Amino acid sequence: MKSKEALELTYVEFQQAKSRVNKALASTTNERSLVTKMQQLSDALSKLNVHHTAWVGKTGFTDAQLAAEKYSSTWLEKEWEEVDELQDKIDELTVQSLPRTQLSTNESINIACSQMETVQSDISTKLKQLLLKTTPSKDSVISLSCVSAYKEILANVKADLENSFSVLADRIMLLDKDKTTDHCSEFEQFRREQHAIITQVQIRLAEAASVKEPVMESTARSTNKSLEMEKSKAPTFSGKTLDFPEFKRSWQAIAGVYWDDANQVEQIKHKVDQKTRRIISQCNSMKNV
């Protein structure tokens, strides 16, 4: 399936998940159902993000070209913002329901642990995808537009790790004081593992962002060769027909190293007599000269 078709199909699934959440919010759906539907929407958004990144990577759009597309980075950001707003609404309903339900300490711990599992799963899934997408390959190079998109996803993951994850970790340790040490060890282990992956992805993105430097150096070397052309003493045609084959061979051996075909045709005009210049002016390649 083509990358854009996969993106469009994923977007349809995402819209369906979003519609279910909106309907649930508008009705008297219970809290568990709301949380489940919101989790499905979060999963659909993560999937949409992955397919969007894959599509951008395969098309090789520049930032300006991508901005003009229907599925631009701005479009994706708006979808993220809308999902965040829905999450805020559900969080408000959850907080409002706590006093009425009079949850016990164990129930509060279970809810917090369930929320923690969701946050950890979301962080792990995104980082695994980033690690996969940034794996070095001889057959392909990460485009600069993809590097930008990956950095944005990575920044969101780091924010989740520093905010949502940390807040829930503190809440669980505060509620479940008998197991504070165990929880602390578990959460710190998860934090270390994710930071290690984040660092690895950051290094890969930095390397990918610098892949064009060798091309620039190559261009500089080519420029230097062009500047040194005069030192090579390009041959000059004597004007005699019998001398032309030897002149052309010498020209291609020297000028052909420095100039492309079209440039050679233009430059050779300056090394021949007026009559030959008129003939060469009718040629469009060195093969015809």
Per residue in 139-162, pLDDT (tens digit) is 677 787 788 888 889 988 998 898
* Euclidean distance between CA atoms 288 and 264, whole angstroms: 12
Contact status, residue 277 vs residue 285, Cβ threshold 8 Å: no
Contact status, residue 119 vs residue 164, Cβ threshold 8 Å: yes
Calculate the alpha carbon distances from 228 to 20, 53, 222, 263, 272 in Å: 69, 44, 10, 15, 21
Better pLDDT: 143 or 82: 82
Sequence ranges of the domains in the chain: 1-102, 106-211, 229-280
* Euclidean distance between CA atoms 106 and 77, whole angstroms: 38
Q: What is the mean pLDDT of residues 196-219?
A: 73
Tell me the residue type at 118: T
The values of phi and psi at residue 239, to 5°, are 100, -10
The answer to whether residue 223 scores a pLDDT higher than 60 is: no
Q: Which of 23-37, 58-72, 190-204 has maximum average pLDDT?
A: 190-204
First to last CA, the chain: 48
The answer to whether residue 47 scores a pLDDT higher than 90 is: no
Tell me the residue type at 67: A
> Which of 34-48, 54-68, 176-190, 269-283 has the weakest average pLDDT?
269-283
Residues recorded for the chain: 289
Better pLDDT: 124 or 234: 124
pLDDT (0 to 100) of residue 96:
56
**For the chain, what is the radius of gyration of the CA atoms?**
31
* Percentage of residues of the chain with pLDDT beyond 70: 81
* Euclidean distance between CA atoms 110 and 179, whole angstroms: 13
pLDDT (0 to 100) of residue 182:
93
The answer to whether residue 230 scores a pLDDT higher than 60 is: no
pLDDT (0 to 100) of residue 255:
65
Better pLDDT: 137 or 8: 8
